[in-house]
Amino acid sequence: MNKSITARAHTNIALIKYWGKADPKLIIPQNSSLSLTLEPFYTDTTVQFLPTLDQDQISIDGQLLTNVAGLRVREFLDLVRQRAGIQTFARVASTNHVPTAAGLASSASGFAALAAAASKAAGLELSLPELSRLARRGSGSATRSIYGGFVEWQKGHNDADSLALPFQENIDFDIQMIAILLDPRPKKVASRAGMAQVVATSPYYAAWPPTAEKDLLAMKAAILKKDLNLIGQLAETNAMKMHATTLSANPPFTYFEPETLQAIEIIQNLRNNGISCYYTMDAGPNVKVICSAKETPAILAQLRQHFPADHLLVAKPGPGIAYI
Ligand code: ADP
Ligand code: DP6
Ligand code: CO
């Protein structure tokens, strides 16, 4: 006990999106989802439970969080304490090597790293599926960041069976992403608030869970066939079906910015010129291009005519959690 533990977790981008909760408290989703863990984007989190503390002390990127901002992390620590049968407060220091709250899944790497570090620091020895379940309580997408490669979050029905499993950890075909950083600022509507508003008000939401489940089956088949074009097409249409539910919410909103549409058009033009590339966006304006490493130079050359070179980040598939 009282050991200082550091864990690293990578972010993941969903090819089939998690969108909408069946149980907001336990974070049970309305649909299963599938993601790709990314190598260059990650969070390092150090946790130490210290009897000398009279409250949790939480910092992200060197900034001490206030009581309000730190609430989500403190509630998560409460879960860990409950499970470990301890009452000690913790010092948490986390560094995001990914923009925070910009639609690049900082909540996924953030809560996966916190789950791994906090559980071990509290003396728990959890299996990977158990860690996935625990990370889920912090952020739904964190469920998947426990593993590398392609990961499936099986929605399940309750706290015990809603967890992620590796779908294909070692990817043996040519696929990667280019993240286009259009706007690194925190988004106006957090993922949590956005999906809750959609579930509560969009008349189109009812169509989402069944169509996402269908897309998931097709995606798994496409991955097994190593069919990059089919993977890209499915991811693109799935993402756009998700974003359509924000426009139809009340009040309506969108995560897109003008540059998001500009990036989409560039990708479409590249495709019309015979280059295989597809786009996906999460709850944020930044666009992720799905493509092969082989065609990445040609795609980058085109993107550089419109966006600064240092805003174009090539992301290969990444690994699961690790203790460092
Ligand atoms: P994103 O697109 O980055 O996942 P979200 O709106 O889903 O954006 O989540 C952002 C929230 O995730 C932050 O406001 C914060 O509460 C939490 N978060 C981000 N990074 C970390 C971290 N390293 N440790 C703990 N929580 C984090
Ligand atoms: C659009 O996992 O960030 O990125 O569970 O409320 O923390 P909470 O939300 P979060 O939502 C991610 C939504 C998404 C799609 C996805 O990652 O599957
Ligand atoms: Co998130």
* Residue extent(s) of CATH 3.30.230.10 domains in the chain: 5-172
105 C-alpha to ligand 3 centroid (Å): 4
Q: Which ligand is closest in space to the CA of residue 106?
A: 1
Mean residue pLDDT of the chain comes to 97
Q: What is the CA(273)–ligand 3 centre distance, in A?
A: 34
Identity of the residue numbered 4: S
Q: How far is the CA of 246 from the centre of ligand 1 (A)?
A: 20
CATH topology of domain 5-172: Ribosomal Protein S5; domain 2 (3.30.230)
The answer to whether 55 and 77 are in contact (CB under 8 A) is no
Percent share of the chain, pLDDT over 90: 94
Helix, strand, coil percentages in the chain from 3-state DSSP, rounded to 5:
40, 25, 35
Q: Answer yes or no: is pLDDT of 289 > 90.
A: yes
Atom of ligand 1 nearest to the CA of 139: 7
Strand partners, 315: 177
> Where along the chain do the CATH 3.30.70.890 domains lie?
176-315
Fill in the DSSP letter of residue 205.
G
Looking at all shown ligands, the one closest to residue 145's CA atom is: 2
Q: What digits encode the pLDDT tens for the residues 227-257?
A: 999 999 999 999 999 999 999 999 999 999 9
Q: Which atom of ligand 2 is nearest to the CA of 17?
A: 18
ipTM comes to: 0.99
- Report strand pairing: 287-291 vs 176-180: antiparallel
Q: Is the pLDDT of residue 152 over 80?
A: yes
Ligand 1 touching residue 10 (CB < 6 A): no
CB of residue 145 inside a 6 A radius of ligand 2: no
Looking only at the bridges linking them, the beta strands covering 90-97 and 57-60 are parallel
pLDDT one-digit tens code per residue, 298-320:
999 999 999 999 999 999 999 99
- The verdict on the CB of residue 97 being under 6 Å from ligand 2 is no
* Residue 211 burial by Cβ neighbours in a 10 Å radius (0-12, 13-18, 19+): middle
Kindly give the number of the ligand 1 atom that is closest to the alpha carbon of 282.
2
CA of 191 to the centre of ligand 2 (A): 6
- Among all bound ligands, the one having the nearest atom to the CA of 58 is 1
Whether the pLDDT of residue 68 is over 90: the answer is: no
Rounded Cα–Cα distance for residues 30 and 99 (Å): 27
The pair phi, psi for residue 36, each rounded to 5°, is -120, 125
The tokens 């790497």 sit on which residue? 109
Q: Which CATH number fits domain 176-315: 3.40.50.620, 3.30.70.890, 3.20.20.370, 2.40.50.100?
A: 3.30.70.890
